[in-house]
């Protein structure tokens, strides 16, 4: 009874014994198990190959003389397989058969020992083989299992067909029989056949035609035509073996031609040789495919590693680029803020110059009248009677009235400045749109008076939720640009209306207007239509940003007067219109 190699705990050395004699197999088992080996016995080489498809033993002991496949052929099969080629193999034979030692060793056996040898010596030989093998584990590889060669016998005659089937079965082959061409084609189409034996002169069968058909079928199965999927063996009667018959048979696709009256051993050897070559070719192809797949896998792994490295490098470069871009963006924002501030200061400088002129005029005559009043007061003190004082008092009162009017003009100007800046109010506030526009016009009066007429239609919504200072800045920038665009005299038209929940402000002028090709760029920072040195190109860009911050829109068109028309639309409640 065989024992599988499934021991728990420390694993004993596992030995597979291939011996057809039950008595000798039992004796070998007893001798090895008494020395601590785990033993499994099988009666044939075919059974041994089936067993080697599972967990591999540490060592194989095989008799040379076995039914079917001999020990030397078993050795060749083991050495041809990538999974088992490193497995130690000890071959046994009778002492008088020393001439077989060379054959066994040439077939791939590691050692050759007579069965009659002392068992202590045999065990020492086994341990030496195991020591040479070391602790190297045998790794199972896909597609390297053993299989029995499959042979298809085609002969319509039951007697010769059955004899040949029995003869080949002794060799351990998986043999099928087919009596007609339909059965032959069916067997080839559904099974993995290694060889087809064709009786060339069986009754009712055209052997040559069958060979040609089989050859055509395997050429279809293997498009290159250089790799046959199965071997074709032609069995020809002695009387029919002529030079012409051999030529025709090989031309039809036969791989070998065997005389029908050849002895059994000769038939076995010829077919064994043919199948060995075929199985070796299959194994070579499998190894080549495995190596090719391994190379592809290695190249794929290298490509993936290179891609990962490139991706990592790209990520690092992207991170560096993002960092540099962020730094550049911050620098750009800082520069833009400075330029915007510079534009505001330039606008403020222009505004201050006009305001200084507005303040200077009333202040000049206030100071002049102040001196007059002081002189008149001195005259009143020197006058002796009331009749002389009355004209002087009247003149003093007149001068004080003029001084009061100048002070009122300065007071109104300061109030307008305070309304324009709204520095005491943060965030969004409710403003009177018409009053805010009037305040801006009052501050721009020095720039507009004398040459530009302002037409007002301020009957729109009275209240708007916005940032007052920013709203005033938008209106001032657009009106100031309109005044700059009008070279001589002209007019500016300002209107307010309500469109649903939106306040719409239109500011048009009679200037030259803005060409269509420039309108897409008019709100870009630093773009200006003014002469070099007279503008920074930030006024409209600032206005655009402020309107966007109020969830509104600003557009440019053509005014009825022929100049530019700016349309500002912002939500009344400070939120986007639904």
pLDDT by residue (tens digit) across 292-339? 888 899 999 989 998 888 888 888 888 888 888 888 888 877 776 666
Positive or negative CA dihedral for 313, 316, 319, 324? negative
336: helix, strand or coil: helix
Residue 503 pLDDT exceeds 80: yes
Residue 506 pLDDT exceeds 90: yes
CA distances 28 to 13, 57, 83, Å, are 15, 16, 26
Residue 508 pLDDT exceeds 70: yes
The angle formed by the CA atoms of residues 73, 74 and 79, to the nearest 5 degrees, is: 95
| pLDDT value at residue 6 | 44
| pLDDT value at residue 518 | 81
Tell how strand 463-466 and strand 429-432 pair up: antiparallel
| pLDDT value at residue 360 | 64
| pLDDT value at residue 25 | 93
Contacts of 414-417 spanning 24+ positions with Cβ under 8 A: 416/442, 416/443, 417/355, 417/443
Cα 392 to Cα 504: distance, rounded to the nearest angstrom: 57
Query: What is the mean predicted confidence (pLDDT) over 529-541?
Result: 65
Q: How confident is the model at residue 36 (pLDDT cuts 50, 70, 90)?
A: very high
Reading the block at residue 554, the tokens are 């600003």
Computed over every residue of the chain, the mean pLDDT equals 78
Cα 180 to Cα 265: distance, rounded to the nearest angstrom: 27
Could you tell me if residue 551 is left (phi over 0), alpha (psi between -120 and 50 degrees) or otherwise beta? left
Q: How confident is the model at residue 504 (pLDDT cuts 50, 70, 90)?
A: very high
Within 10 Å of residue 13's Cβ, how many Cβ atoms?
17
What is the dihedral angle through the alpha carbons of 184, 190, 195, 196, rounded to the nearest 10 degrees? Answer: 0
Instruction: Read off the DSSP letter of residue 576.
Output: -
Weakest mean pLDDT among 34-48, 192-206, 211-225, 561-575: 211-225
Strands (E), 500-545: 502-509
Q: How confident is the model at residue 8 (pLDDT cuts 50, 70, 90)?
A: very low
| pLDDT value at residue 167 | 86
Share of the chain above pLDDT 90, in %: 12
**Which fold is adopted by the domain 424-571?**
Heat Shock Protein 90 (3.30.565)
Residue 159 pLDDT exceeds 80: yes
| pLDDT value at residue 353 | 55
Contacts of 434-438 spanning 24+ positions with Cβ under 8 A: 434/458, 434/460, 434/462, 434/496, 436/468, 436/471, 436/472, 436/475, 437/475, 437/494, 437/496, 437/505
Of 2 and 526, which is predicted with more confidence? Answer: 526
Q: How confident is the model at residue 41 (pLDDT cuts 50, 70, 90)?
A: very high
Of 542 and 1, which is predicted with more confidence? Answer: 542
Cα 108 to Cα 96: distance, rounded to the nearest angstrom: 21
How many CA atoms are closer than 13 Å to the CA of 1, on its beta-carbon side? 0
Could you tell me if residue 164 is left (phi over 0), alpha (psi between -120 and 50 degrees) or otherwise beta? alpha
| pLDDT value at residue 1 | 41
Burial of 354: CB neighbours in 10 Å, binned 0-12, 13-18, 19+? middle
Of 402 and 51, which is predicted with more confidence? Answer: 51
Instruction: Please name the residue that has the structure tokens 């095989």.
Output: 62
pLDDT in tens, 160-196: 888 888 888 887 788 888 877 778 878 877 768 888 9
Q: How confident is the model at residue 19 (pLDDT cuts 50, 70, 90)?
A: very high
Cα 26 to Cα 235: distance, rounded to the nearest angstrom: 42
| pLDDT value at residue 202 | 66
CA distances 241 to 233, 246, 370, Å, are 14, 7, 152
Q: Which CATH class is domain 14-133?
A: alpha beta
Residue 225 pLDDT exceeds 50: no
pLDDT in tens, 412-431: 666 655 555 544 455 778 88
- Assess contact for 13 and 130: CB atoms under 8 A: yes
Residues β-bridged to residue 63? 92
Query: What is the mean predicted confidence (pLDDT) over 125-131?
Result: 81
CA distances 482 to 414, 477, 521, 547, Å, are 24, 9, 17, 18
**Domain edges within the chain:** 14-133, 150-262, 424-571
Cα 82 to Cα 87: distance, rounded to the nearest angstrom: 10
Of 138 and 369, which is predicted with more confidence? Answer: 369
Query: What is the mean predicted confidence (pLDDT) over 128-141?
Result: 56
Q: What is the CATH number of domain 150-262?
A: 3.40.50.2300
Cα 575 to Cα 190: distance, rounded to the nearest angstrom: 78
Identical fold for domains 150-262 and 424-571, yes or no, is no
Residue 8 φ/ψ, nearest 5 degrees? -90, 165
Residue 474 pLDDT exceeds 60: yes
Reading the block at residue 571, the tokens are 């939500």
Can you give the pTM of this predicted structure? 0.42
Q: Which of 406, 494, 408, 407 is nearest to 444 (CA)?
A: 494
pLDDT in tens, 337-350: 666 555 555 555 55
Q: How confident is the model at residue 34 (pLDDT cuts 50, 70, 90)?
A: very high
């Amino acid at each position: 009874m065989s024992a599988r190699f499934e021991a728990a705990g420390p694993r004993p050395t596992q030995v597979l014994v291939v011996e057809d004699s039950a008595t000798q197999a039992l004796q070998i088992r007893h001798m090895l198990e008494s020395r601590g080996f785990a033993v499994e016995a099988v009666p044939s080489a075919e059974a041994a190959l089936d067993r080697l498809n599972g967990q591999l033993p540490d060592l194989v002991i095989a008799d040379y003389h076995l039914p079917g496949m001999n020990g030397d052929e078993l050795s060749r099969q083991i050495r041809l397989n990538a999974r088992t080629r490193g497995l130690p193999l000890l071959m046994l034979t009778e002492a008088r058969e020393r001439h077989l030692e060379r054959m066994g060793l040439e077939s791939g056996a590691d050692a050759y020992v007579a069965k009659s040898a002392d068992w202590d010596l045999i065990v020492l030989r086994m341990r030496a083989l195991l020591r040479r093998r070391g602790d190297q584990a045998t790794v199972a590889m896909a597609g390297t299992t053993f299989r029995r060669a499959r042979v298809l016998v085609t002969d319509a005659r039951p007697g010769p067909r059955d004899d040949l089937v029995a003869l080949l079965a002794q060799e351990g082959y998986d043999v099928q029989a087919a009596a007609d061409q339909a059965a032959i084609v069916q067997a080839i189409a559904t099974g993995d056949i290694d060889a087809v034996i064709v009786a060339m002169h069986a009754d009712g069968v055209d052997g040559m035609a069958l060979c040609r058909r089989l050859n055509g079928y395997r050429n279809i199965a293997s498009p290159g035509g250089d790799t046959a999927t199965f071997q074709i063996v032609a069995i020809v009667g002695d009387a029919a073996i002529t030079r012409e018959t051999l030529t025709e048979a090989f031309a039809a696709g036969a791989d070998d031609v065997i005389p029908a009256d050849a002895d059994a051993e000769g038939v076995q050897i010829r077919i064994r040789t043919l199948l060995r070559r075929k199985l070796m070719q299959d194994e070579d192809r499998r190894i080549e495919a495995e190596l090719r797949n391994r190379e592809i896998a290695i190249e794929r792994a290298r490509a993936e590693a290179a891609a990962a490295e490139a991706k990592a490098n790209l990520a690092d470069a992207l991170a560096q680029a993002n960092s540099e871009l962020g730094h550049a963006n911050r620098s750009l924002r800082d520069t833009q803020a400075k330029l915007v501030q510079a534009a505001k200061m330039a606008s403020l400088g222009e505004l201050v110059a006009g305001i200084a002129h507005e303040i200077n005029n009333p202040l000049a005559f206030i100071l002049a009248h102040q001196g007059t009043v002081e002189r008149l007061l001195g005259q009143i003190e020197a006058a002796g009677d009331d009749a002389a004082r009355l004209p002087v008092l009247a003149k003093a009162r007149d001068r004080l009235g003029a001084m009061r009017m100048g002070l009122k003009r300065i007071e109104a100007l300061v109030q307008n400045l305070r309304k324009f800046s709204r520095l005491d109010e943060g965030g969004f506030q409710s403003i009177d749109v018409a009053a805010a526009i009037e305040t801006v016009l009052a501050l721009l009066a020095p720039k507009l008076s004398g040459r530009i007429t302002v037409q007002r239609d301020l009957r729109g919504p009275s209240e708007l939720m916005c940032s007052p200072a920013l709203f005033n800045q938008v209106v001032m920038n657009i009106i100031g640009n309109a005044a700059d665009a009008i070279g001589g005299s002209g007019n500016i038209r300002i209107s307010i209306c309500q469109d649903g929940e939106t306040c719409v402000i239109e500011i048009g002028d009679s200037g030259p207007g803005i060409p269509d090709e420039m309108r897409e760029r008019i709100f870009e920072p630093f773009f200006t239509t003014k002469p070099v040195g007279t503008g920074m190109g930030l006024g409209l860009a600032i206005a655009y940003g402020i309107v966007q911050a109020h969830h509104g829109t600003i557009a440019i068109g053509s005014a009825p007067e022929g100049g530019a028309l700016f349309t500002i639309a912002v939500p009344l409640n400070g939120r986007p219109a639904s």
